[in-house]
C-alpha cells in the first residue's frame, strides 16, 4: 500500500476509535492501535525511500484546495506520534479504566484518538488555513485530555492555563499564516527559501510555535499541565505534543528564509532553556513536575541543535550544521521515547501509591521491581549517559558544536557557550534523575502508602518495556537509524543529504554494545563474588546509628540544596521559617516552595496590573445617561479646542 492509502486507513481507524471510544473499550483500543500502526507504516517508506508523498487535489475545503505532504521532516515526527500514540493507548487501558473512572474513561479514549489524529493531520497538512484549523483542534484535544479529571480544581486551573497559553501562541500563528498568505499570495505552503521580505516572519513562528514547544520562558503552562494530567496524557503531551511546536519551528525555518540573527537567538534560547529547565527540575518535589521541567531542558537541547543548523546554513552550508541537525532529529525521537517511559513510570508509582510527592515515597523497588528497573533505564537515557539513546543524540549535537568552535569564526562565540552549557545541563540532569530515581525507589519507605505499593500489571508494564527496549536499541545500533535521520536532514536542507552512515557512528554503536554487555556481566559477577564470600544483612551502619528511621533519610529538598542554591537568583523561593525557641520549644517549621518564576513573578503580577487597570476604566461605564452625555460634551469640547487652536499646514 502507498503511504497515502495507509494514511487514509490510519485516519479511518482513528475516526472509528473516536466514535467507539466512549462506549466500547476493546474495539476502540484495537482501532487506535491499527490506526497508529498504519501511521507508522506510512511514515517508514518515506523515511527509508527517496521520494516524498504528496497529494494535491482540487477539492476545496473552506475555499482552499486540500494539499497534503509527507516528507522526511514530517515523517520523523509522524513516527513518534504513532509509537507513543499506540503505547499510551495500551497503557491507559489499565491506568485509566472505566472501573475507577466511570465518568471519564470512555471520554479519555475518544479524546486520545482525536489527539493522535489531529497531530497526524498537523504533520501532513500543507495549507495555511487548514493548518490553523487542525492546529486548533489539536490544542483543544489536549485541553480535554488534561482536564479528564475535571472535578479537581488543580486540574481545572492547569487546563485553563494550558488553554490560555496555547491560544496566545495560536494568536501568533494567525498573524504568521495571515502575513505569509498576504505576501505569498496563496495559503498554499511549501519551500519559499528565496522569497523576498519573508525573513521577519520567523519571529512570529518562534513565538507561536514556541508557546507549544515550551522553551524557557514560554514554558509556563508545562509544569502544571503535565503534573495534573493523567500520566498517559502527560506522556504524550510531554513526549509528543510539545514536539509539534518544535515541528513548526523546524518546518518553517526550513521552508522560509530566516533573519541573519535567527541562529544566534535560537541557540541562545536553547542553551538558556537547557540550563534553567533542568535547574528548576532539580528543585521540584513533585515527581511529575520534575519530569515536566526536564522537558523544558530537552526542548532546549533540540533548539541548540536547530540553532547550530541555522548558523551553519547561513554561513556557507558548513557540514557541522548537518551533524547538529541530525542530532536534533534523533533527539526528537529519543526524548519522546524516554520521557514517555518516565511518565509511564511516574504514573505507575501514582497508581500504586496515590502520591506524586517524592518526600512521601521511597523504597519502592521492593514492591515494584519492574517499574523501578524501567524507570532507571529512562533515567540513564534522559541523563544522556552511555550506552543508551540519549547519549547518541547529544553526541551528535556536541560534534556539531565542537566542529563549529574549531573553525574559529564568529559563530564559535555561540557554539562555545552552548557546548559548555549543554555539558552543565547534562550534569544537572544526572543530579535530578539520581534524586528522582533514588528518593522514590531506593532507601526505606517514608509513608504507609509507599509500604503498601503494588507492582503495575502487564498492560502498563508492556508499553514501558517496549519503550525501554527502544531506548536500548537506539543506543547500541544508532547506525541503523542513519538513513531516516539523514533523509529528514535532506528534507530540511537539500545540500546536506548523506547516504552512508559515518564510520564513527558505527564504532560508537559497537562500543556501546560492548560496554553494556561487559557492565552487565561485571555486575552479575560481582554479585556472585559477594555471594561466594558470604554476605550478611544488617542495619545500615552509617557510622554507628543504633536505630535509623525512615525520616532520617536524605530528602529531595536537601539533595537539591547545593546546586539549587546556585540558581537562587532565578528561583526566588518562598520560605517560611519558625525556629524552635526557648528551653522547651513548641512548634518549629520550615517550608520552602519554588514557584515558577516566569509565571508567578512576571506574568501573574502583570496580569493582575492589567486587571486592576481594567477595573478602574470600567468605572466609566456605569449606565447613567447624564454622565454619558457629559462625556459626549467633553469630547466635543476637546475636538473644538483642537480645531480652534490647532494650526493647519
Decide whether 522 or 613 has the Cβ nearer to other proteins.
Answer: 522
Q: Which helix (H) or strand (E) holds 55?
A: strand 53-61
What does the alpha-carbon distance between residue 229 and residue 242 come to, in Å, rounded to a whole number?
14
Decide whether 163 or 304 has the Cβ nearer to other proteins.
Answer: 304
Radius of gyration of the chain (CA): 27
What does the alpha-carbon distance between residue 140 and residue 265 come to, in Å, rounded to a whole number?
30
- Binding residues with other proteins: total (CB under 8 A): 78
Options 66-74, 303-311, 435-443, 632-640: segment touching other proteins (CB under 8 A): 435-443
Nearest approach in angstroms of CB 381 to other proteins is 12
Decide whether 27 or 502 has the Cβ nearer to other proteins.
Answer: 502
Nearest approach in angstroms of CB 408 to other proteins is 6
| 141 burial via Cβ count (<10 Å: 0-12, 13-18, 19+) | buried
Nearest approach in angstroms of CB 233 to other proteins is 29
Angle at which helix 389-406 crosses helix 320-353, to 10 degrees, equals: 150
Categorise residue 545: left if φ over 0, alpha if ψ from -120 to 50, beta otherwise: beta
Decide whether 79 or 418 has the Cβ nearer to other proteins.
Answer: 418
Site string for other proteins, 553-582 (x = CB under 8 A): xx---xxxxxx--x----------------
What does the alpha-carbon distance between residue 539 and residue 546 come to, in Å, rounded to a whole number?
8
Positive or negative: CA dihedral 481, 487, 491, 494: positive
**353 to 412, contacts with other proteins by CB under 8 A?**
362-363, 365-366, 372, 376, 384-386, 391, 395, 398-399, 402-403, 405-406, 408, 412
Cell matching residue 384: 544522556
| 48 burial via Cβ count (<10 Å: 0-12, 13-18, 19+) | exposed
Should residue 448 be labelled a site residue for other proteins when binding is judged by CB under 8 A? Answer: no
Decide whether 515 or 604 has the Cβ nearer to other proteins.
Answer: 515
Should residue 609 be labelled a site residue for other proteins when binding is judged by CB under 8 A? Answer: no
**522 to 541, contacts with other proteins by CB under 8 A?**
522-527, 529-530, 533-541
Q: Which of 26, 316, 448, 542 is in the footprint of other proteins by CB under 8 A?
A: 542
Should residue 519 be labelled a site residue for other proteins when binding is judged by CB under 8 A? Answer: yes
Measure CA 531 to chain center. 44
Nearest approach in angstroms of CB 569 to other proteins is 14
Decide whether 22 or 386 has the Cβ nearer to other proteins.
Answer: 386
Q: Which of 192, 186, 196, 98 is nearest to 148 (CA)?
A: 98
Q: Which of 518, 588, 602, 630 is in the footprint of other proteins by CB under 8 A?
A: 518
Decide whether 565 or 595 has the Cβ nearer to other proteins.
Answer: 565
Q: Which of 319, 457, 545, 606 is in the footprint of other proteins by CB under 8 A?
A: 545
What is each CA distance from 615 to 47, 608, 612, in whole angstroms? 56, 10, 5
Options 50-58, 186-194, 324-332, 424-432: segment touching other proteins (CB under 8 A): 424-432
Q: Cell numbers 515541528 correspond to what residue?
A: 247
Nearest approach in angstroms of CB 445 to other proteins is 10
Q: Which of 90, 237, 81, 103 is nearest to 158 (CA)?
A: 237
Q: Which of 508, 571, 597, 599 is in the footprint of other proteins by CB under 8 A?
A: 508
Amino acid at each position: 500500500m502507498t503511504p497515502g492509502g495507509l494514511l487514509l486507513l490510519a485516519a479511518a481507524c482513528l475516526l472509528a476509535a473516536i466514535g467507539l471510544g466512549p462506549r466500547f473499550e476493546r474495539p476502540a483500543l484495537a482501532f487506535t492501535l491499527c490506526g497508529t500502526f498504519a501511521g507508522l507504516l506510512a511514515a517508514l517508506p518515506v523515511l527509508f525511500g527517496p521520494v516524498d508523498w504528496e497529494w494535491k487535489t482540487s477539492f476545496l475545503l473552506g475555499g482552499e484546495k486540500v494539499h497534503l505532504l509527507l516528507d522526511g521532516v514530517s515523517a520523523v515526527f509522524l513516527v513518534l506520534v504513532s509509537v507513543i500514540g499506540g503505547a499510551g493507548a495500551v497503557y491507559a487501558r489499565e491506568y485509566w479504566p472505566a472501573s475507577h473512572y466511570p465518568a471519564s474513561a470512555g471520554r479519555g479514549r475518544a479524546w486520545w484518538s482525536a489527539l493522535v489524529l489531529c497531530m497526524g493531520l498537523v504533520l501532513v497538512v500543507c495549507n495555511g488555513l487548514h493548518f490553523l484549523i487542525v492546529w486548533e483542534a489539536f490544542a483543544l484535544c489536549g485541553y480535554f485530555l488534561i482536564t479528564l479529571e475535571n472535578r479537581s480544581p488543580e486540574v481545572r486551573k492547569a487546563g485553563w492555563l494550558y488553554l490560555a497559553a496555547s491560544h496566545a501562541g495560536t494568536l501568533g500563528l494567525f498573524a504568521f499564516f495571515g502575513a505569509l498568505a498576504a505576501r505569498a499570495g496563496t495559503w498554499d505552503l511549501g519551500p519559499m527559501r528565496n522569497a523576498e521580505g519573508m525573513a521577519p516572519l520567523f519571529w512570529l513562528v518562534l513565538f507561536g510555535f514556541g508557546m507549544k514547544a515550551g522553551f524557557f520562558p514560554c514554558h509556563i503552562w508545562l509544569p502544571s499541565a503535565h503534573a495534573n494530567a493523567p500520566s498517559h496524557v502527560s506522556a504524550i503531551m510531554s513526549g509528543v505534543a510539545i514536539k509539534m511546536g518544535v515541528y513548526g519551528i523546524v518546518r518553517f525555518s526550513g521552508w522560509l528564509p530566516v533573519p541573519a540573527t535567527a541562529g544566534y537567538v535560537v541557540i541562545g534560547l536553547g542553551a538558556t532553556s537547557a540550563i534553567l529547565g533542568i535547574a528548576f527540575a532539580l528543585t521540584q518535589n513533585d515527581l511529575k513536575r520534575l519530569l515536566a521541567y526536564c522537558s523544558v531542558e530537552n526542548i532546549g537541547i533540540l533548539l541548540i541543535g536547530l540553532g547550530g543548523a541555522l548558523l551553519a546554513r547561513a554561513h556557507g552550508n558548513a557540514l557541522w550544521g548537518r551533524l547538529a541537525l541530525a542530532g536534533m532529529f534523533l533527539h526528537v525521537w529519543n526524548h519522546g521515547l524516554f520521557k514517555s517511559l518516565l511518565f509511564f513510570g511516574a504514573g505507575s508509582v501514582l497508581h500504586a501509591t496515590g502520591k506524586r510527592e517524592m518526600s512521601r515515597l521511597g523504597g519502592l523497588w521492593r514492591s515494584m521491581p519492574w517499574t523501578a528497573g524501567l524507570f532507571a533505564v529512562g533515567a540513564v537515557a534522559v541523563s544522556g549517559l552511555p550506552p543508551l539513546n540519549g547519549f547518541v543524540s547529544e553526541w551528535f549535537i556536541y560534534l556539531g558544536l565542537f566542529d563549529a568552535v574549531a573553525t574559529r569564526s564568529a559563530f564559535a562565540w555561540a557554539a562555545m557557550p552552548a557546548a559548555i552549557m549543554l555539558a552543565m545541563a547534562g550534569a544537572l540532569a544526572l543530579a535530578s534523575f539520581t534524586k528522582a530515581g533514588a528518593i522514590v525507589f531506593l532507601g526505606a519507605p517514608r509513608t504507609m502508602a509507599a509500604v503498601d505499593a503494588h507492582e503495575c500489571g502487564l498492560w502498563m508494564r508492556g508499553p514501558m518495556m517496549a519503550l525501554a527496549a527502544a531506548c536500548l536499541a537506539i543506543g547500541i545500533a544508532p547506525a541503523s537509524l542513519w538513513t531516516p535521520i539523514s533523509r529528514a536532514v535532506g528534507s530540511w536542507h537539500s545540500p546536506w543529504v548523506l547516504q552512508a552512515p559515518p564510520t564513527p557512528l558505527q564504532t560508537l554503536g559497537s562500543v556501546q554494545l560492548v560496554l553494556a554487555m561487559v557492565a552487565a556481566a561485571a555486575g552479575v559477577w560481582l554479585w556472585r563474588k559477594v555471594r561466594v564470600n558470604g554476605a550478611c544483612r544488617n542495619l545500615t551502619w552509617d557510622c554507628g546509628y543504633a536505630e535509623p528511621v525512615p525520616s532520617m533519610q536524605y530528602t529531595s529538598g536537601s539533595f537539591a540544596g547545593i546546586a539549587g542554591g546556585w540558581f537562587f537568583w532565578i528561583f526566588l523561593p518562598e520560605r517560611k521559617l519558625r525556629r524552635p525557641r526557648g528551653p522547651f520549644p513548641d512548634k518549629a517549621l520550615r517550608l520552602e516552595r519554588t514557584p515558577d518564576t516566569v509565571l508567578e513573578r512576571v506574568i501573574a503580577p502583570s496580569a493582575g496590573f492589567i486587571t486592576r487597570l481594567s477595573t478602574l476604566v470600567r468605572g466609566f461605564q456605569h449606565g447613567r445617561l447624564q454622565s454619558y452625555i457629559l462625556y459626549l460634551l467633553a469630547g466635543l469640547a476637546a475636538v473644538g479646542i483642537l480645531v480652534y487652536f490647532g494650526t493647519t499646514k
